Amino acid sequence: MASGRTRGVVVSPHPDDAVLSAWHVLTRADVCDVVTVFTGTPDPGSPLSSWDRLTGAADPAARAAEREIEDAAALGRAGCAPVPLGFLGSSHRRGRPADGEALRESIAAAVVLADVVWIPAGIGGHPDHVAARDAALVASAGTRRVLYADLPYAARFGWPPWAGGELDIESWLHAQLDGLALVDARVHRLDQEHAARKREAIRDYRTQFAALAAGSADNFPDGPSWAYEMTWDVR
């Protein structure tokens, strides 16, 4: 762990997920470490993934290094530091599942001093988000745990959940969280200052920004809905 002072730790599947989904947590005085799980560097000569190609990468190893630099800059705006675990993301595992046991062991070592751990909810079903969630829930047993809604995936049908018009977004979210023992759903609305700081941090992810914006609604990240985040306590 980067700092023995940490009481709260955020688990982030990739560089950018904690900033996108849990900015209200990152700016807390008792949170300074973000455990970023899938930060591995592909072997030399590895082919570009489809996401690498979409985002204009020329080399997957160089892109992994770029993303870590971006993550440190973005998290630094909140006074946080990344703790990269170095696992390969799904786009470079070529269909292989993540090593659940290794994930659990690495996350457990990274959160051993934490009093509370914020964990991605896995909304949207991205395999890395689900693997990080499942491993972190086991690794942090006995500690207070809070799941956060994965953005922009959780905003697929509209955001915040009550803004769906004819769509029952809340029931869709409940289905995404099926099987998890959760209580105390909370919606967090960032004030203007914190929302502006979050937008600046999101733009630090220069290599990812165009793809994130193209795949998100409501004038991402400037639209009013992106000032909302959501969490659930784990029973």
Digit-coded pLDDT (tens) for 117-142 = 999 999 999 999 999 999 999 999 99
Residue 180 has pLDDT above 60, yes or no: yes
What's the average model confidence in pLDDT over 29-34? 92
Q: Which helix (H) or strand (E) holds 176?
A: helix 169-176
How does 80-102 read in b/e, with b if 16+ C-beta sit within 10 Å? Answer: bbbbbbebbbbbbbeeeebeeee
Confidence of residue 198 (pLDDT cuts 50, 70, 90): very high
What's the average model confidence in pLDDT over 215-234? 96
- How much of the chain exceeds pLDDT 90, in percent? 91
In this prediction the pTM is 0.95
Residue 5 has pLDDT above 60, yes or no: no
- pLDDT tens per residue across span 82-108: 999 999 999 999 889 999 999 999 999
User: 18 vs 57, 97, 127, 168, 210, CA distance in Å?
Assistant: 22, 22, 16, 26, 18
Sketch out the chain's domains with CATH numbers.
Answer: 8-234 (3.40.50.10320)
- Residue 227 DSSP one-character state: G
What's the average model confidence in pLDDT over 130-159? 97
